[in-house]
Structure 1
Amino acid sequence: MYLQYLPWLTLVLAFVFFITSYLWIKKLAKKNNALEILLKSVMANNELFKQQFVELHSGSIGMGKKIQQLESKIIKTQENQQNIVAQAPENRLYTRAAKMVELGASIDELMAECELPRAEAELLINLHKK
């Protein structure tokens, strides 16, 4: 009795299956397109980040070299400054007087040996006592 409807039922089921499959495939195709667009965007951003990284890396190398140059200039300047200070005759006199004070020299000894006025000799002794 129901066998007479079997071909129609099979046809309807096949039609429903094909429509459902078609809609499902269409939905997957849209998702696939969206994912392809997203992938292209990510790849473009990746390239941009690579370029920025290379620029930052080369910039940091340049900065490192510049810092090394500045450090060497500072060291050279400090050495020159020390040489200038050591070469000044009045500084040698005060350096000698300071060493004498450290060894316990008196005001009169400082005045005689270093040819300092009394006020400067007293000042040196007071400074080194602290």
Structure 2
Amino acid sequence: MLLEAQVQAYPLLMEELQAGITEQQAMIASMDEKYSHRGLEHEQVSKQLTHRVKVVQDELAKVKEMFEQHQEQQPEDKLYSRAYKLAELGADVEEIINECDLPRAEAEMLLSVYKKKIR
């Protein structure tokens, strides 16, 4: 009798297990969809960040190039500033050529510009 009761309980147990399995499968499918959606969001955010990093790297490269160009020009600018300062102090063409290592034509032009400015 006990064995007969257990055998009769098996179909109910099978139904409960089947219902539990179905419920678990539905939960897994829901979670899978949820995480799949999140994965897509993360992928999109990752692509956006990658793009932004690329843009910043490009801008940094441009700034670095501009900085290097500026540094290359600075020594020359310093010479002209010094030559102009010498002109202000009353130096003649020969002094400017010797002190600033400028070609005669540039020294003469600088003096001419200075003289026109003070008139």
TM-score category, normalised to shorter length:
0.5 to 0.7
Bigger Rg, which one: 1
Q: Deviations over 1:18-73 (max 9, x none)?
A: 11111111111111111100001000111111111111101100011111222233
Report matched runs for 1:28-39 at 5 Å: 28-39=28-39
Q: Does 1:51 align with 2:51?
A: yes
Give the whole-Å Cα distance in 2 for the aligned partners of 1:36 and 1:69. 49
**CA deviation map 1:78-103 (0-9, x unaligned):** 111223334667358xxxxxxxxxxx
SS across alignment from 2:34: helix
In the superposition, the TM-score normalised over structure 2's length comes to: 0.67
CA distance in 1, matches of 2:90, 2:44: 70
1:84 maps to 2:79: no
Please say which of residues 52-61 and 74-83 is displaced more in the overlay.
74-83
Equivalent residue letter for 2:28? L
The CA distance in 2 between the partners of 1:59 and 1:88, in whole Å, is: 41
The count of corresponding residues between Structure 1 and Structure 2 is: 92
C-alpha separation in 2, matches of 1:89 and 1:51: 55
Q: What SS is found at the alignment partner of 2:59?
A: helix
The residue type paired with residue 33 of structure 2 is N
* Structure 1: gaps (5+ residues): 93-130
- Measure how far apart 1:7 and its partner are: 2.7
Between the aligned partners of 2:28 and 2:89, the Cα distance in structure 1 is: 92
**Relative contact order: is structure 1 or structure 2 higher (C-alpha 8 Å, sep ≥ 6)?**
2
Amino acid at match of 1:11: P
Following the alignment from structure 1 to structure 2, what is the Cα–Cα distance between the partners of residues 7 and 61? 79
Deviates more, 1:71-80 or 1:6-15: 71-80
2:59 and 2:88 mapped to 1: Cα distance? Answer: 43
Sequence identity percentage = 5
Give the equivalent residue in structure 1 for 2:66. 66
- In the TM superposition, 1:1-130 aligns within 5 A as 1-86=1-86, 90-91=90-91
CA RMSD of aligned residues (A): 2.0
